[in-house]
Amino acid sequence: MAVVQTERVCERLRAAGFEDELKVRKVQSLGDALTGRSLSEMPEKGVFVKRLDRLVLDGEIDFAVHSMKDIPLERDERLETAAVLPRDSPYDALVLRHGCGLDELLEAEGKGEREGAVVGTSSVRRKFQLLNYAAERGVEVRVKEIRGNVGTRLRKLKNGEYDGVILAEAGLERLGLGKELEHECERLNCDPFVPSPNQGIIAVVTRRGTEASERLKAVDDAETRREAEVEQEVLKVIGGGCSLPVGVHACCGRERGKESGSGRGNKEGVELAVYFGFGREKYVLRRAVLSRDRSLQEAREFAKLFLAATDTGDSRR
């Protein structure tokens, strides 16, 4: 996945007139190495980016390509996200071994036609959201930890270790698996499956004030950056990370708003959805439409109200 994402960045740089030779250096992150641990049990934040960040700071590489959702809020001030590419799908997808949809799986479980369905995910947020969705339908489903790259997870699914796995739809699309899995794969509705903040965004990180920083700005996507900054602003207020069941999604475009099942879509404003899970039967999910010219300020204000709702137990249910 990292190589595919890096090639996407290189293609955009070449299209923008970057004629210099681009050399790709592969680096294994700590998160990739610790495959035996769940993401919530990692020894520190930023396990997928810290080694690359150190190489950037030491001048061994000019820039690093990341999945933006892996970048922690607290970072070395000498680093900057110089560019973000146009956002791919921010949504989650459920891939099922028997090719039915989530509602069909839960209906069969509820009728006793299928007993003990097991769904794999390494995300605490996805686990809580699936449990919330099933509980609202009076069904219990078992969620089991799964690690490894996309290919490894799909192989475990095919081998019968899981009945379904939840993955980022963007990852499937980047690997060219969308067509192959179209009959087994279902995009999960944004209610309650609000995505992880910055999911679907490829980010390019470099040192501030460098030539690379200036040149990378030529491939920066303004709409995606606006969505990313709104989501990060919310996260600064309510907290988050791999160990917390938090979902934050901002949407500037009408088309994506329609596709998510999240509502109307809004060309004039920025749609925002925020989720926090407390357990199998309780969660808070709130929505708002922010004005574009005050989106960050309004996002902070909305997040403070959302945080108050979680403190008082004012849940969706």
Higher pLDDT, 111 or 249: 249
67-92 confidence digits (pLDDT tens): 999 898 888 999 999 999 999 999 99
Pair 237, 108: CB distance under 8 Å: no
- Tell me the range of 23-27, 28-32, 34-38, 225-229 where mean pLDDT is highest: 225-229
Give the mean pLDDT of 133-158.
Answer: 93
Residue of 112, 287, 311, 106 lying closest to 191 (CA atoms): 287
Q: Is the pTM of this model over 0.95?
A: no
Give the mean pLDDT of 189-214.
Answer: 94
Q: How far is CA 138 from the centre of its chain?
A: 28
Q: In the prediction, which pLDDT does 45 show?
A: 53
Query: Which domains, ranges and CATH numbers included, belong to the chain?
Result: 2-89+197-312 (3.40.190.10), 92-187 (3.40.190.10)
**Active centre residues (catalytic):** 69-70, 125-126, 147, 153, 242
Give the mean pLDDT of 279-299.
Answer: 94
Q: Find all residues with CB under 8 Å of 26, minimum gap 6, and list them.
A: 2, 3
Q: Please report, as a single letter, which amino acid is at residue 52.
A: L
Q: In the prediction, which pLDDT does 263 show?
A: 45
Question: What size, in residues, is the chain?
Answer: 317
Q: In the prediction, which pLDDT does 233 show?
A: 97
pLDDT band (50, 70, 90) for residue 286: very high
Q: Find all residues with CB under 8 Å of 303, minimum gap 6, and list them.
A: 233, 234, 236, 237, 238, 274
d(CA 32, CA 121): 16
Q: In the prediction, which pLDDT does 255 show?
A: 54
Q: Compute CA distances 159 → 115, 119, 127, 149, 276, whole Å.
A: 18, 13, 21, 16, 33
Give the mean pLDDT of 32-57.
Answer: 65
